[in-house]
Structure 1
Amino acid sequence: MMPPEHETTNITGSPAGVLHAAAPPSSVANVSPCIEDAVSDVQQQSSPARFSILRQTLPPVTLMFEDVAYSVKLETTKGSCFSSAEPKQTRFVLNGVSGIVRPGELLAMLGPSGSGKTTLLTALAGRLAGKFSGTITYNGQPFSSSIKRKTGFVSQDDVLYPHLTVLETLTYAALLRLPNKLSREEKMEQAELIIMELGLTRCRNSVVGGPLFRGVSGGERKRVSMGQEMVVNPSLLLLDEPTSGLDSTTAQRIVATLRGLARGGRTVVTTIHQPSSRLYAMFDKVVVLSEGYPIYSGGAGKVMEYFGSLGYVPGINFVNPADFLLDLANGVAPDIIKQEDQPESHGNGRSLDHLLPEDQNSIKQSLVSSYKKNLHPSVKHEIRRSCSPLLPSAAQTSQSKSSRSSENQWSTSWWMQFKVLLRRGLKERKHESYSGLRIFQVLTVAVLSGLLWWHSNTLHIQDQVGLLFFFSIFWGFFPLFNAIFAFPQERPMLIKERSSGMYRLSSYYFARMAGDLPMELVLPTIFVTITYWMGGLKPSLVTFLLTLSIILFNVLVSQGLGLALGAILMDVKQATTLASVTMLVFLLVGGYYIQHIPLFISWLKYISLSHYCYKLLVGVQYGENEVYECEFGEHCRVFDFPAIDNLGIDNLGWDVAALAAMLVGYRLLAYVALRMGQPR
């Protein structure tokens, strides 16, 4: 359960995350943002024992954005035979937005849906795709990898692993994001402190949950998402709609938590759609957007005075300033009197309840013009005055070069990232890989296959060859379609964690590959063990082990193909369709159904993994001198059987080499596709 409001606002932002009395906003906000020790007096109040957990403190960050503009090209319909294609239209998502947030302040960005709040927040986090105009600086410096590690970004959608508990989720985040100089115990202690600070103690051992099964509540999920970013003690915390979908009480606790974090010396920026009056009272500053244009940027307590000076005064029915601002941003003003335009013949004023679209646009344009005339110069002056550019000395230049070289290093080593990601992947995916449905599916097919081929022998060599071909196609299809879902399903998590600089893509990829081995090889081992002996194949332990090795090899190759298709397309439907066509072609040219493939299309069998697996299975199952009863009382060599003779079992080493090349090639292709589609 979340602490009461007066306790929540006492949450500190000290490096160890220790609870102490909140500092007043002015004690932090009025300090020059260009000095790193702007909140040293706040940090020194922390407990020495817990302060030692994170000895390296993060400097405060003053965020300044000036005349930020961003546009996108809209898709248009193609021209017909009688008309040419229309040129793409440009839509301005942001236009001339400015503001400043200092350590200790909580800034809220308000506006209707589609006004550009999320786009602006994404730009402030350094994650906006494409180019934008204007300047965004952090302590007077542009965005860099060091700023990236000091920034926490919480998206609107809570991207969390559903089968992990709250404690496991935050512990893995701490192990990945905290520096190597901290021991494992210190990192785990930091996760515990975050749990206490965010009021998650009651649900610390509960699974997060997802769409298919219940877990923690919506407010607790949001606080877990915040905790993942708080674990590194960010100087700058950005949140997109943290109260979306929450009840008013839970939303108040979330915003109270953010306010307490800001009071500890952090710079906190959040977008919020329609806050209540209680939430609005917690904001220090607000930026109000209307169709990408700013109509206000400044102190939250001065907003009513500003719009009142323009002639917009809320009526008696308005008790929430946020509702008043949103109505203005939409160009509608119920129960508002525009005093300067009020004719005397209308008595108490002209109602603007039912404005036409032209009137709404007129109000918006008027507000935008008033902002440019009245507020924009003062905001720019505040930005200039807060952090004027300084010419660096030679010593500072060399120091910045050394820090720039060190900031390119990751917080943890490659091996640490690999171990943590492997452990986390095994814990999360075991529920899917060893689900009752999948085990039932494999065991049912194994027993049914064993019964259908019950104690077959060389007297029924055609049936035995069919069983071997069934091995190759079943354990080609099954792992392929399971692997297709891997990267598309994990894409949101991968984008989120990679954007935060949590780990290298290579460490994630190799951890994924290593974690798949026990997940993907156990079930085929059980399947082959059951079906091989029930099906009456050669009763030799060596032959059985070779057959099992070939099947497992085929599983890894098929899985690599599925991973590559999923990574390239990143769309489950498209990848499944392409995989179906691919495996159908591999099935037809595998060498069982068609022995004499026309020359102009026979090259397809050389790219079929089923073809190589089938040849290897037949090659290890039968010896060169084995015979079968081809006619009554007459025996023939097994290798002379037409279905085997046309396979060309003469040099199995080339088949092994071909599968090995596919094993490496498909997985390399999957990695390259991931590398091209993910942030570095």
Structure 2
Amino acid sequence: MDNQEVSVDVEAPIDKTNDDRSLPFSIFKKANNPVTLKFENLVYTVKLEDPNGCFRTNHKTEERTILKGLTGFVKPGEILAMLGPSGSGKTSLLTALGGRLGEGKGKLTGNISYNNKPLSKAVKRTTGFVTQDDALYPHLTVTETLVFTALLRLPNSFKKQEKINQAKAVMTELGLDRCKDTIIGGPFLRGVSGGERKRVSIGQEILINPSLLFLDEPTSGLDSTTAQKIVSILWELARGGRTVVTTIHQPSSRLFYMFDKLLLLSEGNPIYFGLGSNAMDYFASGGYSPSVERINPSDFLLDIANGIGSDESQRPEALKAALVELYKTHLLDNVITDLEGQDDLSNKPIENPHVETNHFGEWPTTWWQQFCVLLQRGLKQRRHDSFSGIKIAQIFIVSILCGLLWWQTKLSRLQDQIGLLFFMSSFWAFFPLFQQIFTFPQERAMLQKERSSGMYRLSPYFMSRVVGDLPMELILPCCFVLITYFMAGLNHHPANFFLTLLVLLVHVLVSGGLGLALGALVMDQKSATTLGSVIMLTFLLAGGYYVQHVPVFISWIKYVSIGYYTYKLLILGQYTANELYPCGDDGKLKCHVGDFEGIKNIGFHSGLVSALALAVMLVGYRVIAYLALMRIGKTKSG
């Protein structure tokens, strides 16, 4: 694949050549590396911090056990459905089996093996994981979403056109051709339907022809017909030799009997593991039968998992304990025996010849390819937001209003001129800060999903975000300066104009970098906004305009203030210390600008130091943001 070819022609026709990989890809073909997944005695505990603990003298950290000794297995060609009430541990188990438990979030004991071997990068790159919340970019179309995923996830043993062909073939086989040019949409943006969103999420994962496929409640929020289509797709994928594991909340009776194996959970305890078709007979043999003859099996199983049985006098806690004991005495030994017999694939290495043996090592594509694809995808996704009519109108209105308020201010109105300079530094501190502070909190789910899949390195993602935001960050400030500067009658000399513009652009980039850093550190939009407001207001108050005689014990704030250095450089860009301006009541007296009360404390010295300080902040804030992002997508399994 040519590293310079970065454009994505999503409308290109499928190229049919004699190369088999160029033929339309079938999502139902055989998996390359069948995987038997086994888990033994899994126990998962997390620490719960008391939110009021910092105000209490007996601050304690409570430990809660989410998974309580789970054992089971699933073979290629089978679908394992994990059923249970909300909070029973289904998602935690699925996340653990998929190797996506975040570092520091809890302690997992027990053993999980893939063909009797621990989780490796080879396994992870042949694993698909579909999250419940469908983390997708709302402004991309279905075709763009799948094509960009193919360009990032498929290795360079595929040519670029082959990757596009495979994305289109997946789209066709999932029945997405009808909505291929429709945007994904979101809560406040109309796009594809819920079932189509779910099929797009599944399509992203099966592009790599995974041997293992994990899905978290793929039918949640869908009508029965759409849910049937989704499960039918999973059934066909499993029959191709894949191992499919899914959580499901309350399937219909039609869906229930499409699952090969069933794991029923109650408060983290297993109360049934085995064939789904045998579940009702198992509980009937233990004396637990539904009170009515015709009932959806999943309804009955969820009732007893919640502790609700036919005997209304029995307490829920007692019923749950009895079901756990029944499982341990009548079923657990059989599960362990069957698990130990699954050794037929124990010596087979898990390798994807298109992923692990390509000459780029552990990543499917090069750094430059990842950067180019991510940059193009980011520009397509954010083009509607970056240059929205509201933002453009806001800048033009403010710039024209400033030009009218400070209309042709002469040097005799020096106080008004420096007031305009300080306003420019203030406005262009807050505007980019609040534009950038939401960047990473809004993309956290997407970044975590894609990084956990090993789709790309963090550095090309970060650099694509920084570079992709430059047009928005720089074009609007330029328009502001072009309008306001000449309307306000500031120094018309070209050198002064371009120096003022340069200082303001650097100031915008530094403020945006602070927003990126705060967003990456806090990862909560409300908290980051509050913290950003407090920090920026502190910087502005110490900027040298409002308070000129700051007490010594707090004067150090100005040395970390973005506004202080920007205000100083803006003044240096307009005036010289020995420049004369009309002063006195009649304006006939001439005074030095350097002696003006509002400028004297700022001074005309240390201009180089101020420029260097902004340069350090320009780089430093982005380094902080990058380091903060390194924790996103990390998993215990690597």
CA distance in 2, matches of 1:492, 1:80: 29
Q: Please state if 1:128 is matched with 2:101.
A: yes
One-letter identity of the residue aligned with 2:78: E
Q: Match of 1:179, SS?
A: coil
CA distance in 2, matches of 1:184, 1:54: 22
Give the structure 2 partner of residue 646 of structure 1: 601
* Bigger shift: residues 86-95 or 183-192: 86-95
Query: Given the alignment, which residue of 78, 83, 103 partners 1:105?
Result: 78
How far off its partner does 1:277 sit?
0.6
- In the superposition, relative to structure 1, how do residues 670 and 219 fare at CA in structure 2: closer, same or farther (>3 Å)? same
How far off its partner does 1:51 sit?
6.1
Cα pair 1:77 1:85 within 8 Å, conserved? no
Q: Please state if 1:368 is matched with 2:324.
A: yes
Cα pair 2:412 2:582 within 8 Å, conserved? yes
Give the structure 2 partner of residue 276 of structure 1: 252
Query: Given the alignment, which residue of 207, 213, 224 partners 2:189?
Result: 213
- In the superposition, relative to structure 1, how do residues 303 and 199 fare at CA in structure 2: closer, same or farther (>3 Å)? same
Q: Match of 1:333, SS?
A: coil
How far off its partner does 1:88 sit?
4.3
Q: Match of 1:209, SS?
A: coil
- In the superposition, relative to structure 1, how do residues 80 and 288 fare at CA in structure 2: closer, same or farther (>3 Å)? closer
Give the structure 2 partner of residue 25 of structure 1: none
Pairing 1:295-334 to 2, within 5 Å after superposition: 295-334=271-310
Q: Match of 2:23, SS?
A: helix
Cα pair 1:105 1:284 within 8 Å, conserved? yes
Q: 1:211-269 deviations in whole A, cap 9, x for unaligned? A: 11111111111111111111111110011111111111111111111111111221111
- In the superposition, relative to structure 1, how do residues 154 and 403 fare at CA in structure 2: closer, same or farther (>3 Å)? closer
Query: Given the alignment, which residue of 616, 630, 636 partners 1:675?
Result: 630
CA distance in 1, matches of 2:332, 2:477: 67
How far off its partner does 1:161 sit?
0.8
CA distance in 1, matches of 2:65, 2:588: 87
CA distance in 1, matches of 2:27, 2:285: 51
Residue-pair matches, total: 610
Q: Match of 1:574, SS?
A: helix
- In the superposition, relative to structure 1, how do residues 406 and 375 fare at CA in structure 2: closer, same or farther (>3 Å)? farther
How far off its partner does 1:500 sit?
0.9
CA distance in 2, matches of 1:574, 1:379: 48
Cα pair 1:108 1:286 within 8 Å, conserved? yes
Q: 1:338-371 deviations in whole A, cap 9, x for unaligned? A: xxxxxxxxxxxxxx2x2342xx333322222222
Cα pair 1:53 1:186 within 8 Å, conserved? no
Cα pair 2:38 2:74 within 8 Å, conserved? yes
Query: Given the alignment, which residue of 307, 312, 335 partners 1:379?
Result: 335
Give the structure 2 partner of residue 501 of structure 1: 454
Structure with the greater alpha carbon radius of gyration: 1
Cα pair 2:30 2:240 within 8 Å, conserved? no
CA distance in 2, matches of 1:505, 1:54: 32
CA distance in 2, matches of 1:509, 1:466: 36
Pairing 1:59-458 to 2, within 5 Å after superposition: 59-76=33-50, 85=58, 88-129=61-102, 130-334=106-310, 352=311, 354-357=312-315, 360-387=316-343, 409-458=362-411
Cα pair 1:151 1:236 within 8 Å, conserved? yes
- In the superposition, relative to structure 1, how do residues 200 and 638 fare at CA in structure 2: closer, same or farther (>3 Å)? same
How far off its partner does 1:131 sit?
2.5
How far off its partner does 1:504 sit?
0.9
CA distance in 2, matches of 1:457, 1:166: 57
CA distance in 2, matches of 1:70, 1:595: 58
Cα pair 2:195 2:227 within 8 Å, conserved? yes
How far off its partner does 1:640 sit?
2.6
CA distance in 2, matches of 1:449, 1:462: 15
CA distance in 1, matches of 2:26, 2:271: 45
- In the superposition, relative to structure 1, how do residues 264 and 48 fare at CA in structure 2: closer, same or farther (>3 Å)? farther
- In the superposition, relative to structure 1, how do residues 622 and 87 fare at CA in structure 2: closer, same or farther (>3 Å)? closer
How far off its partner does 1:87 sit?
5.0
Give the structure 2 partner of residue 580 of structure 1: 533
Give the structure 1 partner of residue 23 of structure 2: 49
Cα pair 1:430 1:519 within 8 Å, conserved? no
- In the superposition, relative to structure 1, how do residues 161 and 635 fare at CA in structure 2: closer, same or farther (>3 Å)? same
CA distance in 2, matches of 1:603, 1:94: 52
Cα pair 2:24 2:169 within 8 Å, conserved? no
- In the superposition, relative to structure 1, how do residues 476 and 594 fare at CA in structure 2: closer, same or farther (>3 Å)? same
Q: Match of 2:625, SS?
A: helix
CA distance in 2, matches of 1:573, 1:557: 21
CA distance in 2, matches of 1:459, 1:229: 68
Query: Given the alignment, which residue of 469, 472, 486 partners 2:422?
Result: 469
TM-score scaled by length of structure 1:
0.85
CA distance in 2, matches of 1:284, 1:53: 20
TM-score scaled by length of structure 2:
0.90
Pairing 1:25-44 to 2, within 5 Å after superposition: none
CA distance in 1, matches of 2:539, 2:423: 13
How far off its partner does 1:406 sit?
8.2
- In the superposition, relative to structure 1, how do residues 549 and 599 fare at CA in structure 2: closer, same or farther (>3 Å)? same
Cα pair 1:162 1:207 within 8 Å, conserved? yes
Give the structure 2 partner of residue 20 of structure 1: none
How far off its partner does 1:373 sit?
2.2
Q: Match of 2:107, SS?
A: coil
- In the superposition, relative to structure 1, how do residues 507 and 70 fare at CA in structure 2: closer, same or farther (>3 Å)? same
One-letter identity of the residue aligned with 1:355: S
Q: 1:71-94 deviations in whole A, cap 9, x for unaligned? A: 23344587899x973754443221
CA distance in 1, matches of 2:195, 2:126: 25
CA distance in 1, matches of 2:575, 2:53: 64
Cα pair 1:53 1:190 within 8 Å, conserved? no
Cα pair 1:262 1:268 within 8 Å, conserved? yes
Structure 2 gap ranges (5+): 1-13, 15-19
How far off its partner does 1:574 sit?
1.9
Cα pair 2:447 2:632 within 8 Å, conserved? no
RMSD of aligned Cα (Å):
2.8
Cα pair 2:367 2:460 within 8 Å, conserved? yes
Structure of higher RCO (CA pairs closer than 8 Å, 6+ residues apart) = 2
Q: Match of 1:132, SS?
A: strand
Query: Given the alignment, which residue of 475, 482, 486 partners 1:529?
Result: 482
Cα pair 1:70 1:131 within 8 Å, conserved? yes
CA distance in 1, matches of 2:261, 2:70: 14
How far off its partner does 1:143 sit?
1.0
How far off its partner does 1:626 sit?
2.8
Q: Please state if 1:512 is matched with 2:512.
A: no
Q: Match of 1:313, SS?
A: coil
CA distance in 1, matches of 2:579, 2:214: 72
How far off its partner does 1:649 sit?
0.9
Cα pair 1:488 1:570 within 8 Å, conserved? yes
Cα pair 2:356 2:362 within 8 Å, conserved? no
One-letter identity of the residue aligned with 2:33: P
CA distance in 2, matches of 1:103, 1:476: 57
How far off its partner does 1:599 sit?
2.5
Q: Match of 1:507, SS?
A: helix
One-letter identity of the residue aligned with 1:517: L
- In the superposition, relative to structure 1, how do residues 197 and 112 fare at CA in structure 2: closer, same or farther (>3 Å)? same
One-letter identity of the residue aligned with 1:645: K
Structure 1 gap ranges (5+): 1-16, 18-45, 335-351
CA distance in 2, matches of 1:415, 1:561: 26
- Name the % identity: 56
Query: Given the alignment, which residue of 569, 573, 580 partners 1:616?
Result: 569
